[in-house]
Amino acid sequence: MLRIGFDVGGTFTDFTVHDTRDGGLRHFKVPSTPADPSEAIGTGLRALIGEFGLPAGEIGFVGHGTTVATNMVIERRGVRTGLITTRGFRDVLEIGRQTRPHLYDYAVAKPPPLIPRALRFEVGGRLDADGRELEPLDEAAVEDAARRLGEAGVEAVAIGFLHSYLCDAHERRAAEILRAILPGAYVSTSSGVLPEFREYERFSTTAINTYVGPRMERYLDRFLERLAAIGVEAKPHTIHSNGGLMSVETVRAFPVRTCLSGPAAGVVGAAEVARAAGFPDVVTYDVGGTSTDVSLIANGVPAFATSRLVADYPVRTPMVDVHVIGAGGGSVAWIDDAGALKVGPHSAGADPGPVAYGRGGREPTLTDANIVLHRLDPVTLLGGRMRVDEDAARRAIEERIARPLGLSVEAAALGIIRIAVANMSRAIRSVSTEKGHDLGRFALFPFGGAGPLHAGAVARECGIRRVLVPQEPGTMCARGILMSDISLDFVRSEIAEATPENWPGIMARFEMMAGQGEDWLEAGRVEPARRTVHRVIEARYKGQNHEVQVRLPDEGGFALESFHESFADAHRREYGYDVPGRAVEVVNARLKAVGGVDRPAARFEGGTSGAPEPRARRQVHFDAGWVETPVFDRACLGAGTAIPGPAIIDEMSSTTVVEPGQRVTVDPSGNLIVETAP
């Protein structure tokens, strides 16, 4: 059987194929097609099947990562959306938390709500803080709102009522009325998307889910049509923000859960590869065409979060804790009004792309700087399948950057790289040292097309002593999809003190969610032996406003006394102290239902372990100037190979730069281990 994972990025769409018969892995990349991401998927699958001679009928698993939903929010390309809410709460999306994005910068404004005020309607009906009905739902008002929204031309409607996380009866009835009057509309309820307290975050997450829902459905339809046209019969799965896989039907209902789809897959894959290589503590460093995504893995476990901002809109859903900045290979170099050189956050993306790609790009990018300095091959990329134009890149840097700043082209290109490295290093420190972690005990795990290209410089900047570069790092996110389990998160909100009287009721929440998880896994045809559940309680001291997470044993049987001890430990880790004797409130009970998958075992067929012969030598510009540097094909490097820097190691999906004074060795699994300090 063939298992295929692919990740749709801003510049390239990456593919990894796992042949379960012999354990082999194959990797492939094609340029992304932002206007219709499914087009690049179809093109890549056809090329992949043709180049490697893979029979489409033997493809038994298809998993994909996508940033379609995220990009729709960033670019505000969702559909015209309405909201029906409790009387008096029409402006929750606009009021928010009354915090400014930048405390001292009055020029920075919050983004406008995705649902304009004219399309937000209030209706009668009210629950109290315990979920009891105070006022019945005004069904006539819901019918009137539905008709007015239809006249306004909305394609989607969000429903968000006060305290519906405790009782969803009003929201379910409102949804029935809406679907009867607007049968073609996409409808989301806040109790279905996020049954948690805190109205603003719940309403915001539901609004985003509804805003992107119809276009995500259309994207999925095109995606499925392309798979069928190729002859792929396997039902595809999509990786979601918590690093697990879910079915197309679940994505249709909860597209907001894909906001960190691709980056989460990369972290999952990195954790597996690093663990197998003996590196339980790593900082993942994923540099693509438009962004750099960094995350922390401690003791083999990725960091998780329950909320983040997407284009400055709050999204609350379990997710891998990834910090994203606008610094990638396509990041544009420019000069600001004060005459300072900047890199990013805007990107040339896949269309038109860097100047050297010859697709109409005019603004110099980080990729152009690396080509000019010969850190990237100045003739071809992607294993010779993609030609590049060094002269065009040099002219762009000279005209836009070097001449206005009075620099040589080489100095300008080096400045572009140094600024990008500084930005990337700040992102790494934000997830590590700023959270109390000692970077000295972590290795850097670079991937993405441009990660290994800058990893040596970033590691030096951050004081990281070792860099672990996996095989074909440019397709790590696609490979991570093949290592991801099937999973779905459930949550129940109800604030209750952790007392002997309340503890059985708190545990009962997990029993109810476990039943829902079993039903979901059964519908996904997951074998019972592969089913597990993970349980987490989010709690706080009474009087606090935010919670810490306490992981419960997967096998159950967790006593109240053990919970209090674990909560105190978690609070000390998060805040540096605990308060013995103070009452503890349980806020959310979370359960993740997991269906295990067979992970592709690492297989390495490298060259000989002796001193390898370089494929070529070329002049490469480092901090000290031009240096004649050997260029190696990674496929020719066997386990135990050791190469002193400077050196360039090329492979289809990426290029690893070993700087002067650094040293690289090949471990038994084929990973490159770059030593950045003696």
445-461 confidence digits (pLDDT tens): 999 889 999 999 999 99
Indicate if the pLDDT at residue 102 is higher than 80: no
What's the CA gap between 61 and 252, in Å, rounded? 19
* Dist CA 246 CA 244 (whole Å): 7
Tokens of 294: 């960094």
* Token pair listed for 270: 């990195």
pLDDT on residue 675: 95
Span 426-448, average pLDDT: 91
Q: Which of 426, 182, 201, 445 is nearest to 310 (CA)?
A: 201
Tell me the average pLDDT across 255-277.
89
Confidence class for position 91, pLDDT limits 50, 70, 90: very high
pTM: 0.87
Mean pLDDT of 185-196: 95
Q: Pairing between strand 81-86 and 59-65?
A: unpaired
Across 434-443, 445-454, 563-572, least confident range: 434-443
**Which CATH number among 1.10.1060, 3.30.700, 3.40.50, 3.30.1490 corresponds to the domain 486-595?**
3.30.1490
Q: What is the pLDDT of residues 599-658, one digit of tens each?
A: 776 667 666 666 788 999 999 999 989 999 999 999 899 889 999 989 999 998 889 999
Q: What is the pLDDT of residue 612?
A: 84
pLDDT band of residue 309 (cuts 50, 70, 90) is confident
Give the side-chain half-sphere CA count within 13 A for 319.
23
Q: Which residue has the higher pLDDT, 11 or 541?
A: 541
Cα(448)–Cα(12) distance, rounded to whole angstroms? 10
Q: Is 185 helix (H, G, I), strand (E, B) or coil?
A: coil
pLDDT, tens digit (0-9, with 9 covering 90-100), for 484-532: 899 989 999 989 999 999 999 999 999 999 999 999 898 888 889 999 9
292: pLDDT strictly greater than 70: yes
- E runs forming strands in 153-291: 156-160, 186-189, 237-239, 245-247, 282-287
Q: By C-alpha distance, which of 365, 370, 242 is closest to 315?
A: 242
pLDDT for residue 92 is more than 70 = yes
pLDDT at 116: 96
Mean pLDDT of the chain: 90
Residue 417: predicted pLDDT: 96
Report the alpha-carbon distance of residue 3 to residue 16 in Å, rounded: 8
Per-residue confidence (pLDDT) for residue 609, from 0 to 100: 62
257, 237 Cβ separation under 8 angstroms? no
What percent of the chain has a predicted confidence (pLDDT) above 70?
A: 98
**What is the sign of the dihedral through the CA atoms of 605, 610, 616 and 619?**
positive
**Per-residue CA distances from 576 to 372, 438, 572 (Å):** 48, 16, 4
Cα–Cα distance measured from residue 599 to residue 128, given in angstroms and rounded to the nearest whole number: 48
**Average pLDDT for 249-278:** 90
pLDDT tens, residue by residue, 134-182: 999 999 999 999 999 999 999 999 999 999 999 999 999 999 999 999 9
Lowest mean pLDDT among 22-26, 210-214, 580-584: 22-26
Question: Which pLDDT band, with edges at 50, 70 and 90, does 26 fall under?
Answer: confident
pLDDT of residue 515: 93
Region(s) of the chain under CATH 3.30.1490? 486-595
pLDDT digits 0-9 by tens, 414-427: 999 999 999 999 99
Helix, strand, coil proportions of the chain in percent (round to 5)?
Answer: 35, 30, 35
Contacts with 403 (C-beta within 8 Å, 6 or more apart), sequence order:
none
